Amino acid sequence: MKRLLFLLGMLPLLLTGCGSNGGGETLGSESFRYNIPSGAVQDLRFGKEVFFAYGPISGTKEVPSNGLAKVHVFEKGVSLHTLQVNIALPKDGYFYEGWLLNPATNERISTGHLKSLFGDVRHNLDHQEERDLREFTKVIITLEKDDGNPAPGTQVATGTLKELKRD
Q: Which residues contact 135 (CB under 8 A, 6 or more apart)?
A: 102, 104, 105
pLDDT at 26 over 50: no
First CA to last CA distance, the chain: 68
From CA 163, how far away is CA 166, in angstroms rounded? Answer: 9
- For residue range 153-162, what is the model confidence (pLDDT) as tens digits? 999 999 999 9
Fold adopted by 40-163: Immunoglobulin-like (2.60.40)
C-alpha count within 13 angstroms, C-beta hemisphere, residue 134: 12
pLDDT of residue 4 exceeding 70 = no
Distances (CA, A) of 51 to 10, 56, 70, 81, 122: 57, 18, 11, 12, 27
**Calpha distance 58→42 (Å, rounded):** 30
Query: Is residue 18's pLDDT more than 60?
Result: no
| 89-93: average pLDDT | 96
What pLDDT score does 55 carry? 97
CB half-sphere exposure, 85, CA atoms < 13 A? 32
Better-scored residue on pLDDT, 125 or 11? 125
Mean predicted confidence (pLDDT) in 58-71: 96
The DSSP 8-state label assigned to residue 88 in this structure reads P
Looking at mean pLDDT, say which of 19-23, 46-50, 100-104 comes out highest: 100-104
Q: Which residues pair with 64 in a beta bridge?
A: none
Q: What is the mean pLDDT of the chain?
A: 84
Question: Above 50 in pLDDT, residue 25?
Answer: no
Cβ neighbours for 30, distance < 8 A, ≥ 6 positions apart = none
pLDDT in tens, 128-138: 999 999 999 99
**Mapping DSSP to helix (H, G, I), strand (E, B) and coil, where does residue 26 land?**
coil
| Confidence class for position 15, pLDDT limits 50, 70, 90 | very low
pTM beyond 0.75: the answer is yes
In this model, does residue 54 exceed pLDDT 70?
Answer: yes
Any idea where the domains of the chain sit in the sequence? 40-163
Distance of CA 7 to the CA centre of its chain: 45
Average of pLDDT values for 145-155? Answer: 92
pLDDT on residue 43: 87
